[in-house]
Structure 1
Amino acid sequence: MDVGAPAAGWAVDGNGNGILDICESGLLACPADFDQNGAIDGSDLAQILNAWGPAPGLPGLDLVPDGIIDGGDLAVLLNAWGMCAE
């Protein structure tokens, strides 16, 4: 199984258009860069871990928009770890 594929269960394509929702949000060029410092790093990881659990009112941290900050959101963050594309 390709763990980066939508079929892996942690990525969401809510409208069924074949593009993961996180990829078409258009909100941030680097959605997991919560502090917008140009890199996905320890401070972004800390924000995910501090918000772990039900996430009403935290849509920016809910990278897999399912209302819960959990392993799916952590996986998105870890897969994007490092410098953001310019």
Structure 2
Amino acid sequence: MESYEDDIEKGNFDPIRRWLRLKIHQYGSTYAPKVLLQNSLNEDYDPDYFIAYLGAKCLIHNLSPLVQNEYNCTSKILLYCLE
């Protein structure tokens, strides 16, 4: 999965699909989300990834601070649900 960005740029999603099937999809709801992440990525759940994604989305769409605040609230709700 090291060159996934190159694959995406080329429109080649097969390596990503194979990785998802091997590490995520085959387990369905066998594991809780946190356990699945630990088993698949060898790291604990890190909300910074999601927060960075939301921050980038706000910048890309030039959203107002009010809307950005709503995104922050949404991320806190999602983090609570994953606990």
TM-score range, shorter chain: under 0.3
Higher helix share: 2
Q: State the TM-score, normalizing by the size of structure 1.
A: 0.26
Greater RCO, CA 8 A, separation 6+ = 1
Larger Rg: 2
Q: State the TM-score, normalizing by the size of structure 2.
A: 0.27
